[in-house]
A and B are shown apart, each in its own frame.
Chain A
Amino acid sequence: MSIKYAILGILAERDLHGYELKTNFDDKVGEFWSLNFGQIYSTLDRLEKDGLVTHDRQAQDKRPDRKIFSITKKGRIILTQWLSTPISKVRALRDEFFIKLVFMDKDNPAAVLDLIEKQKMLHLKHMNRLTRRKVALKSKICNRDTLPTELLLDAGLFHAEADIKWLTLCETKIKTEIKRKE
């Protein structure tokens, strides 16, 4: 769904062939989102059928022609509309960890607390990795615009932090429950 708009967004900057599109995509959001060539080409096909993208053939020495893709006027209109519309769908509350909590042994809260602790540590390690990437990004002298990547890393950090806070609250509530039963 958003791959379509990401590709339109990249082509709105300049015309590119498929391989360049992929590198450009990886550069911009690859940190959080991996995309294979198959997905890129099938999306390009669909965009072409919808008249949002078109292509030119470029002859190459001893190799088959390559396709240079460009965005159409209609494509630009669709992209601009999409860019200016907020997302009305709220992130789904469907955490795998929550399912674990539901099915954990009620008579063995120590095991639940242990699992929570381990989960928190994993989040903390993840935050440390994201922070290191952010520090590296900010200390690198780069001519391309790194702000969107930095903001994505921040989003990852805030989400992990929220998970840790939630797990800490789980811990406290489970402990309170244990005390109440004693």
Chain B
Amino acid sequence: MDRSDEKTEELTMIELRHAGRKFRQGLREVKALSDVSLVIRKGEFLSIMGPSGSGKSTLLNLIGGLDRPTEGEVILDGRPLHGITDDQVTLLRRRHVGYVFQFFNLLPLLTACENVGLPLLLDGLPFSKVKQKAEALLEKVGLAERIEHRPDQLSGGEMQRVAIARALIADPAVLLADEPTGNLDSHTGEEIFLLLKSLNDRGQTIVMVTHDPKAAAYGSRIVTLKDGHPAQDICIGED
């Protein structure tokens, strides 16, 4: 490997090599994704855009190790997700990937602080230590006043902020978001994007899938998917 290759490696956060994903539907085989080769660089804010059924959520799941490709390879921050057991993938995912979903997925009986700290508590860390970090993250996402609130005491935008804080608790290499504002009004959605953008400005790699061009426009790069395959790749310069 020559120097330039080493450099490329250093800058690469995620690499997909000819990745594909087939599903069986009864007797039929459905190709959700085929031959996707994609390099996501460290510090990038990548929007993956496509209509429903274009394979974008499947792609996000492959990137985050929630699902495994039926063909090809996924390499996450230098760690191949192939040739290892499901348990090992799960561990890698817990340590290196933060997820934000459309429907927040918070536990209703836990406070904001407990929800945020949960991934570390599951890892066996003591609550006192986790609490401090969870509170700091809630402050970072603008919820210093909501630390002890339960989800039903929070607005939609606040719940998504809690979910973002939770996704960041393990200092993930990459933050993945699946239609993070699909459930929010335009104004609240914009605030969530500004938050994601400010995290990205501080170095957080973000990959977001969306069908919404307004959301995709926050990315520093936009890849469009069509029938399970990347169709366009727009890198946006500072013009």
> What is the interface of chain A, defined by CB distance below 8 A to chain B?
117, 121, 123-125, 127-132, 135, 138-139, 157, 160-161, 164, 168
Cβ-defined contact, B236 with A164, below 8 A: no
CB distance from A5 to the nearest CB of B (A): 28
Taking a contact as CB atoms under 8 Å apart, the answer to whether B194 and A127 are in contact is no
The one of B214, B219, B222, B236 in contact with A157, judged by C-beta atoms closer than 8 angstroms, is B214
Contact of A127 among B198, B214, B231 (CB under 8 A): B214
Task: Say how far A182's CB is from chain B's closest CB, in angstroms.
Answer: 18
Q: Please measure, in the bound complex, the distance between the C-alpha atom of A117 and the C-alpha atom of B231, giving whole angstroms.
A: 10
B234 at interface by CB-CB < 8 Å: yes
User: What's the dominant secondary structure at chain B's contact region?
Assistant: mixed
Q: For A129, list chain B residues within 8 Å (CB).
A: 236, 239
Number of A-B contacts (CB under 8 A): 43
In the complex, which residues of chain B have a beta carbon less than 8 angstroms from the beta carbon of A130?
217
Across the A-B interface, give the 5 residue pairs with the lowest CB-CB distance, nearest first: A127-B217, A131-B217, A128-B217, A164-B213, A128-B236
Measured between beta carbons, the chain A residues less than 8 angstroms from B49 are 124
Closest CB in chain A relative to B230 CB, distance in Å: 13
By secondary structure, the A interface counts as helix
Residues in B neighbouring A125, C-beta threshold 8 A: 234, 236
Tell me the residues in window 187-201 of chain B with beta carbons closer than 8 Å to chain A beta carbons: 194, 197-198
Minimum C-beta distance from A48 to chain B (A): 40
Cβ B222 vs Cβ A124 within 8 A: yes
Q: Which residues of B contact A123 (CB under 8 A)?
A: 213
Q: Is the CB of B232 within 8 A of A121?
A: yes
| Contact flag A124-B239 (CB < 8 Å), given A131-B218, A135-B197, A138-B194 | no
Q: B108 interface residue, CB < 8 Å from A?
A: no
Shortest distance from the beta carbon of B158 to any chain A beta carbon, whole Å: 19
Measured between beta carbons, the chain B residues less than 8 angstroms from A168 are: 51
- Interface residue from A124, A135, A138 paired with B213 (Cβ < 8 Å): A124
Please report the C-alpha to C-alpha distance between residue A124 and residue B239 in the assembled complex, in whole angstroms.
15
Quote the shortest CB–CB distance from B217 to chain A (angstroms). Answer: 4
Q: Contact: B197 with A160, CB < 8 Å?
A: no
State the CA gap A164–B222 with chains docked (Å): 15
Q: Determine if B137 is an interface residue (Cβ-Cβ < 8 Å).
A: no
Number of interface residues of B (CB under 8 A): 18
Q: Check A121–B234 contact: CB distance below 8 A.
A: yes
CB within 8 Å for A161 and B222 given contacts A121-B234, A124-B234, A135-B197? no
Known A-B contacts: A128-B217, A129-B239, A135-B218. Give 4 more (CB < 8 A).
Answer: A127-B217, A135-B194, A135-B197, A164-B213
Q: Is B225 an interface residue (CB 8 A)?
A: no
Contacts of B216 in A (CB 8 A): 124, 127
* 23 A–B contacts from the bound complex (CB under 8 Å): A117-B232, A121-B224, A121-B234, A124-B49, A124-B213, A124-B216, A124-B224, A125-B236, A127-B213, A127-B214, A127-B217, A128-B234, A129-B239, A131-B214, A131-B218, A132-B236, A135-B197, A157-B214, A157-B217, A160-B213, A161-B213, A161-B214, A168-B51
A176 to chain B, nearest CB (A): 14
Min Cβ gap A94→B in Å is 23
Chain B residues near A127 (CB-CB < 8 A): 213-214, 216-217
In the bound complex, how far is the Cα of B107 from the Cα of A56, in angstroms? 69
Set of chain A residues within 8 Å of B198, measured between Cβ atoms: 139
Q: Which residues of B contact A157 (CB under 8 A)?
A: 214, 217
Report the Cα distance A132→B222, complex, angstroms: 14
Q: How far is the CA of A164 from the CA of B234 in the complex (A)?
A: 16
Residues of chain A within 8 A of B217, CB atoms compared: 124, 127-128, 130-131, 157
Closest to A164 in B: B213
Q: Say how far A168's CB is from chain B's closest CB, in angstroms.
A: 7
- Find chain A residues with CB under 8 A from B214 CB: 127, 131, 157, 161
Query: Complex Cα distance A128/B213, Å?
Result: 9
Q: Closest approach, in angstroms, between the C-beta of A155 and any C-beta of chain B?
A: 12
